[in-house]
Structure 1
Amino acid sequence: MPQRQRIQGYTWNDKRRRLLDHNAPPPKTITIAVTPP
Structure 2
Amino acid sequence: MARLFGTDGVRGIANKELTPQMAFNLGQAGAYILG
Q: TM-score range by the shorter chain?
A: 0.3 to 0.5
Greater RCO, CA 8 A, separation 6+:
1
**TM-score by structure 2 length?**
0.44
Q: Which has the higher helix share?
A: 1
